[in-house]
Amino acid sequence: MEYNFRQIEKNWQKKWSADETYKVSNDSNRPKFYVLDMFPYPSGAGLHVGHPLGYISSDIYSRYKRLKGFNVLHPMGYDAFGLPAEQYAIEHGIHPAEATDVNIKTFRSQLDNIGFSFDWSRELRTSDPSYYKWTQWIFLRLFNSFFNRSSKKAEGIDTLVTAFEKEGNSSHPMPNAQYPIKTFSAGQWQQFDEVNQQDILMQYRLAYCGFGEVNWCEALGTVLANDEVINGFSERGNHPVVKKKLRQWYLRITEYADRLLEGLEKVDFSEAMKEMQTNWIGKSYGAEIDFKLKDQTELLRVYTTRPDTIFGVDFMVIAPEHELTDAITTPAQRAAVDEYIAYVKSRSERERMAEKKISGVDTGALAINPFSGKEIPVWISEYVLAGYGTGAIMAVPCGDERDFKFARHFNIPVTNIIGDHFNGAEANSTKDAKLTNSDFLNGTPMREASEIVIRHLEIAGSGTRKVNYKMRDAAFSRQRYWGEPFPIKWEKGIAIPLTDKELPLELPYVASYKAGPEGEGPLANIPAWTSLHLETNTMPGYAGSSWYFLRYMDPGNDQEFCSREASDYWNQVDIYIGGTEHAVGHLLYSRMWTKILFDLGHIGYDEPFRKLVNQGMITAVGYYAKILNFRTADGAVRHLFGNDADISSGSEFVVGKELSFVTDRYDQDSDFKRIPYAGKYLDVEHRMTRKAFATYKAEFGAKYRIENEKDFAWVKGDDGDDSDFFTMELVSEKMSKAKYNSINPDDLVEKYGADTFRMYEMFLGPVEQSKPWDTKGIEGVHRFLKKLWRLFFDENKGRIWNEDAATAAELKVLHRTIRKIDDDTERFSFNTAVSNFMICVNELSDLKSHKKEILSPLLVLLSPYAPHISEELWKAIGNEGSVLDASYPVFDAKHVTETSKEYPVSVNGKVRTNISISLSATQAEVEEIVLSADTVKKWLEGKPHKKIIYVKGKMINVVV
């Protein structure tokens, strides 16, 4: 009887599915546990071996918790709406709905292949009307609420209207600093017409519509959120992104900045993750200072985090787009300023970011230092951004590098306010100096000075304490088709929300999803849609994923997004597993939505994820032809490095630019030639021989096109073709279908089985760590499972397991394993757990142990990792029921206690020998034994020992 994993795995998968083994009830007297994976976007490429890493971890943990007596929720679904799906659809000429359907089928079959314990009866997809009905419903809650800054929580917009009617907006300051109306009284409110009133309310709503600079991506034909733009290019597709003013929907996430920061203290995320979110929110403390301008009535307001440096201000810089630029420019500087503004306008965002050239123009205006009365020139320069702070800065060159470079470039004199800390050659941003040249602050440590300055400013009325955030409100609309329609219609410029009864507002089926006539979404092309004045934008990808963890709790509910009973029972996600790439996007948005739903009383907690585990990325190995060895006409062997070597005339072969392996667009600019999946054809020195290359071509040639091989320079060795070779470079790179470097789990499951695959993925290393994929090592894990099998069955003899009583040695092995596996699993150390299984099976094999008493508990331990083989053997040795419902073995210390220990004995810190000593030995006894040992005597060389360090159960060290 041999280990026929294909048969075994298929059988059990069928059985588990038929028995609904993984169906989870909301009604249980066992404690709950919620394990969630970040659900995938079902791409056309399917899963590669990197994806299941997190899923396997969560699956092991879920099964482990189940054995430990918990009612475990472990669901899976699909993030099916969004840009990538639509791009894919356009590229392949298929409707996104169909493409998504096909892709999901592929995903599902790949997932099923690995034997996960997902409760598929709870599957959801964000593009399903029964799901996005509730996304729209939550959107309406956001639309109909505002952030009350006094209570620091979301409240219904009707409370705000009541307040306006009674007292204007005196208790609820206008959140939008750019809005023309800042304050109004109850009387004024009554007199505004409806459009006006609605417009004001729009400034308060948590989901609001406004005009704003957005990240416009021409190639994708849409607006992107800040986190979807990387260095001026789209995250998806790497297309250029420009700033553009458009009517957009936004989420007022800035109001939640503080709550999002505070919340980080009560969740178990990695420090790195918290740091990333904190940086993204970018809270800074400082002051807004109003500078009077000489001969002008306007005030120039700046934001600074360093009010303590107020006496070091040598010039002011305002953004070229600043609203005061025009008004304050003196006639003498007019021409230069106009010219500079024209220059700035001609430059793209990208150019401005890329180039570090110092540029700027003096406006001729003079600002007046509120304390010293010093007159300070006001410049414009593109290094100051209109969008941050007030779009103007007070420049302190001795303490700020950019300011210093600017001052030096334009010969502006620098005031030193930090004494010895400033060397005149570069700025020093220290906070540890005592101030100099600072009037009443002279001698004050900088850290104390900020407070003093702010107090003085507030008394003088020329400044206020101010907290600033880097984070902007999140753009929440896309000019695209494949997303949730907004449940909003427009009448006379007023956004009217649909009623809950009108939901879902279904996405109409269209044959073509090209952009609308004026850059709007494709929905603008549908007369039936526009005639109802419905909003033509759709929601972004992160809408559906911001609350999906709640839907799993109560997936079929058509009355509510999730019943309060269900969300109270399952509560927060206990373990959330996914990649770091969602650190700022998805995680911040879902945390915000959770807080809003909590504030409005729909759920009972305001953080969605109690603990977050970030799985590392599995990288691929890329193979590049690096060194080519070739023979020239004069017979010399030469080495050609990549394709950048210049081949002198007279060589036997024409090599160089013509030499190439054309495989994909990524190698166009590379110095090396990519040869996909070359791994198993290389020898230890990463050399590809001519013979191996011929085999390679036979297998992959048709698939990946290898061109111009005739120009390839093979080295002729003395012993024939075998010694012809070229050397390849191996590099780590991201797995992607386009790079022809991804590995499909299906292939590995087919060859080794799901259990082997699962354990091997875990065996690679710690879950959180990124690591390269190398298929070679999988054999070792497969051998382990076969070896396990042989504890039960012999190829020839059949059954060899028996029901004899276990020996002390066997029990010791078992209980050591129980302790290790339990501990490792609990702390997500799955790689060491796999090692410990191997050690256990090796030891049992050495003991020739085939006893059910030992093997049964072992199978329970193993079942989270390798469920199929565990279930098969569990049944084969005559156990009742499923191993999945067995109870977890309990560690008993009495089986592993030792009476003596083989101590490493060191002399002066170097281990010289091992001596077995009873664990109950006293210090004096140990000293006597150690000193009488021959080896120790030898190393002491007759010298007296100074002292003997004896750490019970650990080691002994003799100090001379």
Partner RNA sequence: CCGGAUGUGGUGAAAUUGGUAGACACGUCAGACUUAGGAUCUGAUGCCGCGAGGUAUGGGGGUUCGAGUCCCUCCAUCCGGACCA
Per CB under 7 A, which of residues 522..581 are in contact with RNA? Answer: 580-581
Backbone angles phi, psi at 743, to 5 degrees: -115, 130
Confirm if 950 and 920 have CB atoms less than 8 A apart.
no
| 878 scored as a contact of RNA (CB under 7 A) | no
Binding mask 923-952 for RNA (x = CB under 7 A): --------------------------x-x-
The nearest distance, CB 732 to RNA, in angstroms, is: 7
| 467 scored as a contact of RNA (CB under 7 A) | no
| 425 scored as a contact of RNA (CB under 7 A) | no
* Structure tokens belonging to residue 108: 């599902």
Rounded Cα distance between 857 and 817, Å, is: 10
Q: Which residue has the tokens 């012993």?
A: 719
Give which of 82, 87, 73, 75 is closest to 126, Cα–Cα. Answer: 82
Tell me how far the alpha carbon of residue 261 is from its chain's centroid: 18
Rounded Cα distance between 958 and 945, Å, is: 7
| 786 scored as a contact of RNA (CB under 7 A) | yes
Per CB under 7 A, which of residues 337..366 are in contact with RNA? Answer: 352-353, 355-356
Which of 655, 781, 813, 873 touches RNA (CB under 7 A)? 781
Name which of 581 and 803 has its Cβ closer to RNA: 581
Name which of 86 and 761 has its Cβ closer to RNA: 761
The nearest distance, CB 847 to RNA, in angstroms, is: 12
Binding mask 646-675 for RNA (x = CB under 7 A): ------------------------------
At 769, the amino acid letter reads Q
Name which of 138 and 317 has its Cβ closer to RNA: 317
Which of 382, 473, 484, 871 touches RNA (CB under 7 A)? 382
# chain residues binding RNA, by CB under 7 A: 83
The nearest distance, CB 581 to RNA, in angstroms, is: 7
Name which of 52 and 77 has its Cβ closer to RNA: 52
Which of 89, 281, 378, 384 touches RNA (CB under 7 A)? 384
Per CB under 7 A, which of residues 150..189 are in contact with RNA? Answer: none
Give which of 208, 165, 220, 160 is closest to 190, Cα–Cα. Answer: 165
| 776 scored as a contact of RNA (CB under 7 A) | yes
Which of 195, 219, 272, 931 touches RNA (CB under 7 A)? 272
Binding mask 131-150 for RNA (x = CB under 7 A): --------------------
Per CB under 7 A, which of residues 6..35 are in contact with RNA? Answer: none
List C-alpha distances in Å: 746 to 47, 48, 108, 111, 750: 9, 9, 12, 9, 6
* Structure tokens belonging to residue 24: 């989870």
Rounded Cα distance between 889 and 70, Å, is: 15
Which of 32, 244, 431, 787 touches RNA (CB under 7 A)? 787
Binding mask 60-99 for RNA (x = CB under 7 A): ----------------------------------------
Per CB under 7 A, which of residues 183..242 are in contact with RNA? Answer: 227, 230-231
How many CB atoms are located within 10 Å of the residue 199 CB? 18
| 954 scored as a contact of RNA (CB under 7 A) | yes
**Cβ-proximal residues to 686 (8 Å cutoff; 6+ apart), any chain:** 727, 728, 729, 730
The nearest distance, CB 386 to RNA, in angstroms, is: 7
Rounded Cα distance between 557 and 269, Å, is: 31
Name which of 242 and 647 has its Cβ closer to RNA: 242
Per CB under 7 A, which of residues 480..509 are in contact with RNA? Answer: none
Name which of 7 and 284 has its Cβ closer to RNA: 284
Give which of 285, 253, 259 is closest to 468, Cα–Cα. Answer: 285
Rounded Cα distance between 318 and 327, Å, is: 13
The nearest distance, CB 612 to RNA, in angstroms, is: 14
Confirm if 588 and 277 have CB atoms less than 8 A apart.
yes
Confirm if 520 and 482 have CB atoms less than 8 A apart.
no
| 685 scored as a contact of RNA (CB under 7 A) | no
**Cβ-proximal residues to 190 (8 Å cutoff; 6+ apart), any chain:** 165
Binding mask 731-770 for RNA (x = CB under 7 A): --------------------------------xxxx--xx
Which of 666, 832, 875, 921 touches RNA (CB under 7 A)? 832
Name which of 121 and 732 has its Cβ closer to RNA: 732
Which of 84, 115, 286, 622 touches RNA (CB under 7 A)? 286
| 838 scored as a contact of RNA (CB under 7 A) | yes
| 957 scored as a contact of RNA (CB under 7 A) | yes
Per CB under 7 A, which of residues 287..316 are in contact with RNA? Answer: 303-306
Which of 1, 452, 933, 955 touches RNA (CB under 7 A)? 955
List C-alpha distances in Å: 8 to 15, 341, 723, 755, 802: 11, 73, 45, 10, 22
Rounded Cα distance between 116 and 592, Å, is: 31
The nearest distance, CB 144 to RNA, in angstroms, is: 31
The nearest distance, CB 713 to RNA, in angstroms, is: 27
Name which of 819 and 875 has its Cβ closer to RNA: 819
* Structure tokens belonging to residue 766: 């710690």
Q: Which string of DSSP letters, residue by residue, matches 15-64?
A: HHHHHTTT---S--SSPEEEEEEPPPP--TT---TTTHHHHHHHHHHHHH
The nearest distance, CB 304 to RNA, in angstroms, is: 4
User: SS3 for 671-719, per residue?
Assistant: CCEECCCCHHHECCCCEEEHHHHHHHHHHHHHHHCCCCHHHCCCCCECC
**Cβ-proximal residues to 342 (8 Å cutoff; 6+ apart), any chain:** none
| 772 scored as a contact of RNA (CB under 7 A) | yes
Listed ranges 95-103, 182-190, 447-455, 783-791: which one lies at the site for RNA (CB under 7 A): 783-791
Buried-state track 507-517, b at ≥16 Cβ within 10 A, e below 16 = beeeeebebbe
* Structure tokens belonging to residue 390: 């007030």
Rounded Cα distance between 156 and 392, Å, is: 36
Name which of 121 and 908 has its Cβ closer to RNA: 908
The nearest distance, CB 783 to RNA, in angstroms, is: 4
Phi-psi region of 941 (alpha: psi -120 to 50; beta: other; left: phi over 0): left
Helix (H) or strand (E) holding 300: strand 299-304
Which of 80, 319, 435, 523 touches RNA (CB under 7 A)? 319
If DSSP codes are grouped into helix, strand and coil, which group holds residue 426? coil
Rounded Cα distance between 727 and 688, Å, is: 6
Per CB under 7 A, which of residues 888..927 are in contact with RNA? Answer: 902, 904, 906, 908-911, 914
At 27, the amino acid letter reads D
The nearest distance, CB 775 to RNA, in angstroms, is: 9
Which of 388, 490, 569, 666 touches RNA (CB under 7 A)? 388
The nearest distance, CB 399 to RNA, in angstroms, is: 9
List C-alpha distances in Å: 503 to 129, 207, 208, 429, 892: 9, 18, 19, 56, 58
The nearest distance, CB 229 to RNA, in angstroms, is: 8
Per CB under 7 A, which of residues 793..822 are in contact with RNA? Answer: 820
Name which of 176 and 832 has its Cβ closer to RNA: 832
Binding mask 33-52 for RNA (x = CB under 7 A): --------------------
Which of 31, 69, 237, 282 touches RNA (CB under 7 A)? 282
The nearest distance, CB 400 to RNA, in angstroms, is: 6
